[in-house]
Structure 1
Amino acid sequence: MRCATICRTGFRRECCQQPHSAGDGMIARIPVLYILLAAYRGERFLSDLLDSLLGQSDPHWRLLVSDDGSDDDTLSILHRYAAVDTRIIIIERPSVRLGATANFGFLLHNFLALGGEWFALCDQDDIWHPYKIERLRSTMQDYIAAPEPHLAFSDLNWIDEHGRQLAPSHFAATAVGQPSQAATVFALLHNLVPGCAMVGNRALAWQALPFPECIAHHDWWLLTLAAAGGKVLTVNEALICYRQHGGNLVGASTVRRRIVDLLTHPTRLVRHARLQYWGAIAQGKALHKRLGSEQLASSWREALAVLETGLAAPSRWRRMRTIMSGALARYGFARRVFMLIGALQTPQPCQGREICCHGLEAGDR
C-alpha cells in the first residue's frame, strides 16, 4: 500500500465555517479543528502532508503553521499552498529558533488567542487518511466544550520514505502497551501516543500552557494532563500514515530494535533510560503542581505519591525497591529493568522555568 497515493486527493475549497443543517432544520455551528504544525526543514515530505489535509472529507479545519527558521524550501511551499487555500495560516514571528516544544507552545497560545475550541498536533512528514478529522470529530464531539481536559487519539500505520507500508498498526508494532492504557496511570511513566495522532479540547490547551521546562515531551505532557484530570478517548483505527525515515525514527522502536540497541549501543540505551526515567519524574511533579490534588483522579494521586516518595527518592536503593515492588508490577519485568537502568543514574539538573513561546510572558495564557 502506498499512502502517498491513497491520501493525495487534490485541493478542496470548502470554507471552514460552512454551516451544517441539523435534523430539526436549525443551522448548527461546526467547531473548526485547528491543526498545529511546527515546521522546520520539511521540504521533502511537506507537500504530501498538505495534500492529505486538503483531501479531508471534513472540510472544517484551519492549519496554523509556525516555521522555526527553515533554510530550505519549506516556507515557499507553505506560501504556495496558502495562496490557494485560505484555511492555511502562516504565523509570522521573530526568526529566533525555538525548538519543537516551544514552537508547539507558541502555536497552542495562538490557538487559544484565536478562540479555538479543539486542536490537533501535526508532523510535517506524515500523511493523514482522508477520514481522519471526520472520525476524530465523531469521537470528540460531546467533549469539545467540556470544562475538563479531554484528548482523543487514533492508531497509526507506518510507512517508509516512499510511502510504502511498513506496519499496519503502531501499537502492535512497538508493543509499547495497549492503547487503552493511555487513559490510565500507565501513561505517567511511559509515553504511549505520538502527538500527531492526538486531538484535544480548549480546556486541555489551557491547562497545558505554559509548558514546564522539565516536561519530557509536549505530547506526553498533554496525554498525562487529560488522563489525570479529564478523559482520554481511543479510536481503534489507523488514521495517519506515520512516516519512518532517516530523520524520524522515533516511532520505529520495536521490541527487536530495543534488543539490538541494548547489544550494539549500550551507551545510547543507558542515556535513553536516564532521560526517560527522570523526565517522567520531573513531568509527574509538574503535573501534580499544575492540576493540584483536588483535580486529580484518585488513582493518579496514589501513583504520584509513589513517584514522589519512592521513584524520586534520594537513595538509589529506595528507588530500586520501589521499582521492583508490587506497586509497579503492572509495568512488566522488561520495563522495570529499563526503569532500573534509569534509576541508577543521577537526574539531569532542571532550572524549573516555564516554556511558553518567544516574546510572551510565561503566565500569559
Structure 2
Amino acid sequence: MNSHNQPRVSIGIPVYNGERYLALALDSILAQTLPDFEIIISDNASTDSTQMICERYADQDSRIRYYRAPENRGPGWNLQRVAELATGEYFKWQAHDDLLDPNFLEKCVEVLDRDPSVVLCHCYTSHVDDQGSVYSVNTTPCHTDSHCPSERFRAWMKIKQDYVGCEIFGVIRKQVLDAAPPLGCYAHADVIFVGLLSQFGRFYRIPEPLFMFRIHAEQSMQTIRDHQRRRRFKLPFRGPLPATEWWDPSKKGQPDLPTWRLYGLYGRFFAKHPMQLRDRLLCYLALLERLILSKDLLRLGIDILLAVETMLTPTPSSRTHRSTEKKTEPAKML
C-alpha cells in the first residue's frame, strides 16, 4: 500500500460458481510486478467451492477482501458492487476466468500516471482456450485515443460486429468511474458504458498482449437457451446475447427494447454532459450515421416484435431463475 493506505489499483472480481478458473485468475493477479493493489471479490451466492477458494486466498493475503451475497442478484448488480467497494486510485474489472501477464498493472498504471488525459488503459488481448493456450491475438485498432471526444465516440460507434475488444477490462481512473453513469444491468451494458466513458477522456492501448481473455463452453452465451425455448412464436431473431435477464434475473419474462435503450441512453447523456456544442452535434451525427448505415433500423423493429412475443409468452413460475454469472465475450454492438 502507499503511504496514505490507499491502494494504487482496486481489482474487482464479480463471481458466481467460478471454482474451475478462479484460483488461476487470482494467482495471475498476485504475481503482478506492481504489488500496490487490493482485490475485491463479490461472490453472488455461489453453490460450488468458490467460497472456500476465496476464503483461503483472503486468509493468505491481506490485500484480498471477500464479500458474499445471500442470494444471486445477477452479474449486473455484482459488477456494480465491486466498483462501489473499491478504494483505489485506479480500478479494474476482472472476470474470474481471465488471466493477466505479470506486467499488466505496472504498465497500465505507468501510462495513467504519465498522461492525465488518458482515463482508461488497456492492451492487446490474447484469446485463450479452457486450458489457457493462446490461439489468437486481437490487435484490431479502435481509434479511441483521439483528444477530440466526438472523434472517440464516432470511432466507438464504428466498431464491427465481430470486434472482440476488452476495453471494459482495462484500468480506469476511479475518479472518472465515479463521475460517469454507472454500468447498467441490461443487454449491451458494457458497450454503452465504454461509449459513455469515452467522453471523459482518451483510451490508450498498450501494443502488447498482456491480457488473456478465456473463451470456453461454460460462458454465459449458453444460458440463453432456456429463454429461446420459451419463445412463443419462434421468430427468426435471437435478440441480444446474453439477454437482459442474464444481467438482471429480476427482469426475466419482461419485454426489453435494447436497441431503443442504446440510442435513448446515449441521446440523453449527450444532452446533459458538459461539452462543446460542436462535439455534441457531432456525437448526435455519429449516432444518426450508425442508425442509417448499420442494421439498427431493422433492430428497432425486431425489438418491438421480440417485446410483443415476450409479453405473450408465459413465464414458468415453478422454478426460480439462477443467473449463471459466467463471463461472455464483451457485448458487441448488435
| TM-score, normalization by structure 1 | 0.64
For structure 2, list consecutive stretches of 5 or more residues without a partner in the other structure.
Answer: 146-151, 222-233, 245-255, 308-334
State the shift of 1:128 in Å.
Answer: 0.6
Distance 2:95 2:257 in 1: 26
Structure 2 residue 261 is the aligned partner of structure 1 residue 282: yes
1:315 maps to which residue? none
- Aligned pair partner of 1:62 in 38, 45, 55: 38
Contact residue 183 and residue 193 of structure 2 kept, 8 A: no
Structure 2 residue 145 is the aligned partner of structure 1 residue 155: no
State the shift of 1:118 in Å.
Answer: 1.0
User: Any residues of structure 2 matched to 1:209-358 within 5 Å, and which?
Assistant: 209-212=181-184, 216-248=187-219, 270-272=238-240, 279=258, 281-290=260-269, 292-296=271-275, 298-299=278-279, 301-304=281-284, 307=287, 323-324=292-293, 336=294, 338-339=295-296, 341-347=298-304
Evaluate the alpha carbon distance shift between residue 239 and residue 274 of structure 1 in structure 2; reply closer, same or farther with a 3 A threshold. Answer: closer
Distance 2:102 2:32 in 1: 5
Contact residue 220 and residue 242 of structure 2 kept, 8 A: no
1:202-244 Cα distance to aligned partner (Å, 9 max, x none):
233213354455x534432331122123222222221111111
2:149 maps to which residue? none
State the shift of 1:64 in Å.
Answer: 0.5
Contact residue 212 and residue 286 of structure 1 kept, 8 A: no
1:44 maps to which residue? 20
2:93 maps to which residue? 121
State the shift of 1:181 in Å.
Answer: 4.6
User: Any residues of structure 2 matched to 1:150-189 within 5 Å, and which?
Assistant: 150-167=119-136, 169-172=137-140, 178-181=141-144, 183-188=152-157
Distance 2:242 2:51 in 1: 36
Contact residue 180 and residue 197 of structure 2 kept, 8 A: no
Residue identity in the other structure for 1:179: C
Distance 1:248 1:38 in 2: 14
1:327 maps to which residue? none
Distance 1:71 1:300 in 2: 47
State the shift of 1:96 in Å.
Answer: 2.4
2:77 maps to which residue? 102
Which structure exhibits the higher relative contact order, with contacts defined as CA atoms closer than 8 Å and separated by 6 or more residues?
2
1:243-287 Cα distance to aligned partner (Å, 9 max, x none):
11101387xxxxxxxxxxxxxxx9776524997996355234324
State the shift of 1:72 in Å.
Answer: 0.3
* Sequence identity percentage: 19
Evaluate the alpha carbon distance shift between residue 189 and residue 99 of structure 1 in structure 2; reply closer, same or farther with a 3 A threshold. Answer: farther
- Aligned pair partner of 2:174 in 175, 191, 202: 202
For structure 1, list consecutive stretches of 5 or more residues without a partner in the other structure.
Answer: 1-15, 20-27, 173-177, 251-265, 312-318, 325-335, 350-365
2:320 maps to which residue? none
Structure 2 residue 62 is the aligned partner of structure 1 residue 86: yes
State the shift of 1:107 in Å.
Answer: 1.4
Report the more deviating stretch, 39-48 or 340-349. 340-349
Evaluate the alpha carbon distance shift between residue 242 and residue 269 of structure 1 in structure 2; reply closer, same or farther with a 3 A threshold. Answer: farther
Q: CA RMSD in A?
A: 3.5
Distance 2:260 2:279 in 1: 17
Residue identity in the other structure for 2:101: H
State the shift of 1:84 in Å.
Answer: 0.8
Residue identity in the other structure for 1:187: W
- Aligned pair partner of 2:48 in 33, 53, 72: 72
1:171-199 Cα distance to aligned partner (Å, 9 max, x none):
45xxxxx2325734232465763256311
2:321 maps to which residue? none
